[in-house]
Chain A
Amino acid sequence: MKGHVFKYQDNVDTDVIIPARYLNIADEKELAAHCMEDIDKDFVKQVKNGDILVAGKNFGCGSSREHAPLVIKVSGISCIIAETFARIFYRNAINIGLPILECPEAAAEIRQGDEVEVDLESGSIRNLTQGKTYRAASFPAFMQEIMKADGLINYVKGQVKA
């Protein structure tokens, strides 16, 4: 996957990813129209399919709302790279099949607008703009299986039938 980067700071919380005032909306496209609006009004106007979100530490802290990784995925973001993720966001992203990578060096050095290519299998992150390559820690096999199934529901569905 390859795309341009939207870069954010530390401790981006799920209240700014999708404010609670919109959580009465059931339609995911309508919901995604408000993604990041309290910290970046231009995000939804500028984001293109395949783009990559890069952030500092503790990305997705706060509420357990799965609407947060969902609106990021529906917006077209193909992958999130952060120094660290808050734990509920981390498992929600895996459970809904939104690729995430923890890589402190990449999170620190990649800049807004850089073009970045990610290979999830190897954990390789290539910053095409700056000409630098990073390696994120790979996921345990179990989590990779969930992501390969495009989320926990498909993974469990396979097991329930078997």
Chain B
Amino acid sequence: MGMTMTQKILAAHAGLERVEAGQLIKAKLDLVLGNDVTTPVAVHEFEKIGVCCVFDKKKVAIVPDHFTPNKDIKSAEQNKLIRDFARKMEIENYFEIGQMGIEHALIPEKGLVVPGDVVIGADSHTCTYGALGAFSTGIGSTDMAVGMATGEAWFKVPEAVKIVLKGKMGPWVSGKDVILHLIGMIGVDGALYQSMEYCGEGVKALSIDDRFTIANMAIEAGAKNGIFPVDEKTVDYVKAHAVKPYAVYEADKDTEYSRVIEIDLAGIRPTVAFPHLPENTRSIDAVGDVPIDQVVIGSCTNGRLEDLRVAAHVLKGRKVHPRVRTIVFPATQKIYLEAMREGLLEIFVEAGAAVSTPTCGPCLGGHMGILAKGERAVATTNRNFVGRMGHPESEVYLASPAVAAASAITGRISSPEEVMK
């Protein structure tokens, strides 16, 4: 029986000819990542191991992005701890405020992940890099500590769900709608412990930013990773950002999958996930009248340049509804600069939206846009759990940048089709 793309990457990093689903392996790591929430715990655990230094100063990345720029004294102390650790260990890829970005937008942009890599990150959305044909997955702080010390991690080799994409997305439909649609189909544990392996001619039409968004939310279906085949678009992206060598893996033709799902991209409508689970999806046509208080455009899911372009396209020459607070978060400094040069930031400000420096901030209810009791937000983020963006009795509706921008204008969840008539 053949191997999946994920299995081939894991086998190569475990020094094995082949691996099978369920097998426990130890794999060599190409990158170990952490943020300002998970790294402090990892540093404490790392110190217990009793090694002098990290396994490779170039293969550890620390990105303070959650409670940054630091929101209070406690966060500042946590950040100081990891900053001091990064200096002491001479970690090359520590990104300070002013150079940083939301980690999962920043890491690929800095060329730190390439096709065929094995990456672990103490952040659940580390699965984002599957967009580039790498195996990447979220782990906890202890795994991060051991990864930093040994350059290895233990894995249970996953089986895979095969997702065959065909056709092309219609107007106002994006990668976000594809992944929300898919999670709505299979549920928040629909790919539990498994890989989500994308294939089919529909992949070609997806931009790299769309693929980042789709791979990013693999965790919202319970998956270990989401992964795309490497094509010309991937190679162009990697050549433009990275210098390190890469390796292309393809699934064998005779591979068995736990499940095969076919999706016609042309049939997907703009999709919204209602509280309090990402699987509670509805087509924009079935949303009904849902007045909102806040719109958040950004995050590791949807804070990239294409996302900002779509939002700006909708908001250009229009005004944010007077009852709605709209906050835009470009995901990295580079994206911020490009958005500024393209005039996108001006469009946002003219429309009455606030533009923030890169931060995870409101996505996890950290800072920069917390909801009060009973308030509702439309967000381009990835989770709408109870209390995710603030008060336990507030609500988050997940949507694409286009839907979020349209909703900012009308003051209720709306289709861009309605606004752009």
Contacts and interface: CB of A to CB of B under 8 A. Distances in A.
B364 A15 contact: yes
Contacts, number: 135
B142 A92 contact: yes
B149 interface: yes
Interface in A120-146: 140, 142-143
Contacts of A66: 38, 41, 122, 140-142
Contact of B192 (A69, A84, A156, A160): A84
Given A21-B365, A66-B141, A160-B51, A38 B387 contact: yes
A75 interface: no
Contacts of B138: 64, 88
Interface string A83-100: 010111001100110000
B150 A91 contact: no
A16 interface: yes
A85 to B, nearest CB: 9
A91 B139 contact: yes
A100 B219 CA distance: 21
A1 interface: no
A16 B145 contact: no
A24 B309 CA distance: 34
Given A24-B72, A95-B140, A152-B143, A161 B50 contact: yes
B78 A24 contact: yes
Interface in A58-79: 58, 61-67, 69-70
Contacts of A62: 124, 219, 383, 385
Given A67-B41, A157-B48, A15 B388 contact: yes
B151 to A, nearest CB: 12
Size range of the chain B interface in the assembly: 35 or more
Nearest to B26: A142
A157 B387 CA distance: 38
A13 interface: yes
Contacts of A92: 139-140, 142-143
Contacts of B275: none
B357 interface: no
Given A13-B385, A87-B222, A63 B364 contact: yes
A43 B49 CA distance: 33
B2 interface: no
B277 to A, nearest CB: 6
Size range of the chain A interface in the assembly: 35 or more
B392 A38 contact: yes
Nearest to B121: A64
Nearest to A83: B189
Contacts of A111: none
A151 B139 CA distance: 15
Contacts of B145: 153
B193 interface: yes
B146 A21 contact: no
Contact of B24 (A13, A142, A153): A142
Interface in B370-386: 383, 385-386
Contact of A91 (B51, B66, B121, B140): B140
Contact of B386 (A15, A25, A84, A151): A15
Contacts of B124: 62-64, 88
Given A38-B387, A88-B139, A88-B140, A11 B48 contact: no
A88 B67 CA distance: 22
A161 to B, nearest CB: 7
Given A26-B74, A157-B48, A87 B385 contact: no
A25 B364 contact: no
B77 interface: yes
Contacts of B121: 64
B333 interface: no
B369 interface: no
Nearest to A96: B142
Contacts of A21: 365-366
Contacts of A84: 189, 192
A87 B383 contact: no
Interface of A: 11, 13, 15-16, 19-21, 23-26, 38-39, 57-58, 61-67, 69-70, 84, 86-88, 91-92, 95-96, 140, 142-143, 151-153, 156-157, 160-161
Given A26-B40, A63-B123, A92-B139, 7 more contacts: A15-B383, A66-B41, A70-B41, A91-B140, A95-B142, A140-B24, A153-B48
Q: Which 9 A-B pairs have the closest CB atoms?
A: A92-B140, A66-B140, A24-B74, A58-B189, A20-B364, A95-B142, A64-B124, A64-B138, A66-B141
15 contacts: A11-B188, A16-B385, A23-B366, A25-B74, A63-B383, A66-B41, A84-B189, A88-B124, A95-B143, A152-B142, A152-B146, A153-B45, A153-B146, A156-B150, A160-B150
